[in-house]
Amino acid sequence: MISLLQRVSEARVVVDGVVTGEIGPGLLVLVCAERGDTEAQADKLLAKILKLRIFSDEAGKMNRSVQDLDGQGACGGLLIVSQFTLAADTTGGNRPSFTQAAPHDEGQRLYDYFVGQARLAHPVVQTGRFAADMKVQLINDGPVTIPLQVN
């Protein structure tokens, strides 16, 4: 599975003019299931996301995770958005190929599983809508943007 994390001051997803998910400080998590990905990989990716120390401590060092923010009274949210374009292959020309992205049904199953596990592990989880035309608005904090991929 592939993800792109953006540390945000705030973020939201709008589908057909309606806000489907919104967070304050936390992580915007763009996530893509690739062909052959498993629930074990989703679990591994989620564990890494929750423990990744990319939030500043009192000394200004990146030393806190999104879970650590929760313990500081400023609960860090997760806004999880499906994005098959993370699987883009641009080596063959000017038009990206998305053949490595999981087929729709499998991608949705893994996305739903990932979101469900995130909701069990973290108190603030919001989402977009799988396969919808989404408008994502964010204020990137830092900016801090980190790609993650698990095999």
CA distance to 5, 20, 26, per residue, from 132 (Å):
20, 11, 23
Write down the catalytic residue from 6, 41, 67, 83: 83
Active site residue 127: no
- Structure tokens that stand for 1 in this block: 């599975």
Task: Please state whether the peptide bond connecting residue 143 to the residue before it is cis, i.e. omega within 30 degrees of 0.
Answer: yes
Write down the catalytic residue from 6, 55, 67, 84: 84
Active site residue 85: yes
- Structure tokens that stand for 140 in this block: 């990137």
Active site residue 67: no
* Residue 36 CB partners (closer than 8 Å, separation 6+): 102
Give the span between the Cα atoms of 87 and 111, in whole angstroms.
14
Catalytic amino acids?
83-85
